[in-house]
Amino acid sequence: MSIDQSLPVSAAHMQAPFVAFTREELNKILNVYGFFVASGDWKDYAIDMLKDIAVFSVFRRASEAPLYRIEKNPKLSHKQGAYAVVSMTGQVVKRGHDLGQVLRVFDRQKLKLAT
């Protein structure tokens, strides 16, 4: 295995940049997550930070497929919007430029739980 000699050693070992949620974005997501955990509907989550997309997955049980995926894809920020909520079936439930607006899709479920 050879290292490209044209690059400095530190640059040869650097990883490619990845997409991540900001602290503010995570606070919004975790506020919604906390409500559904308290109601007993959601039990677990996973955060994936990949090269092109960041994903917050919500699970009913850790062994199942995610109920919802909250995705951040910066490449779509000038088109449909960088944020999306995707259901278990892969259907985009809500997409937009503002994470707060996109997360409002869960408000209807909160109302169902309150009644």
Name the residue with tokens 């640059």. 11
Inside any domain, residue 8: no
49-108 residue pLDDT tens: 999 999 999 998 777 789 999 999 989 888 888 899 999 999 999 999 999 999 999 987
Domain that holds residue 103: 28-114
E strand or H helix that includes residue 44: strand 44-49
What pTM did the predictor assign? 0.78
Inside any domain, residue 60: yes
Number of domains in the chain: 1
Inside any domain, residue 58: yes
Inside any domain, residue 7: no
14-38 residue pLDDT tens: 555 888 899 999 999 999 999 999 9
DSSP letter for 19, please: -
Inside any domain, residue 33: yes
pLDDT of residue 81: 87
Residue whose C-alpha is closest to residue 56's, from 64, 44, 38:
44
Q: What's the rounded Cα separation, in Å, for the pair 56 and 42?
A: 13
Inside any domain, residue 6: no
Is the Cβ–Cβ distance between 75 and 52 less than 8 Å?
Answer: yes
Inside any domain, residue 11: no
Q: Which two tokens stand for residue 63?
A: 């062994």
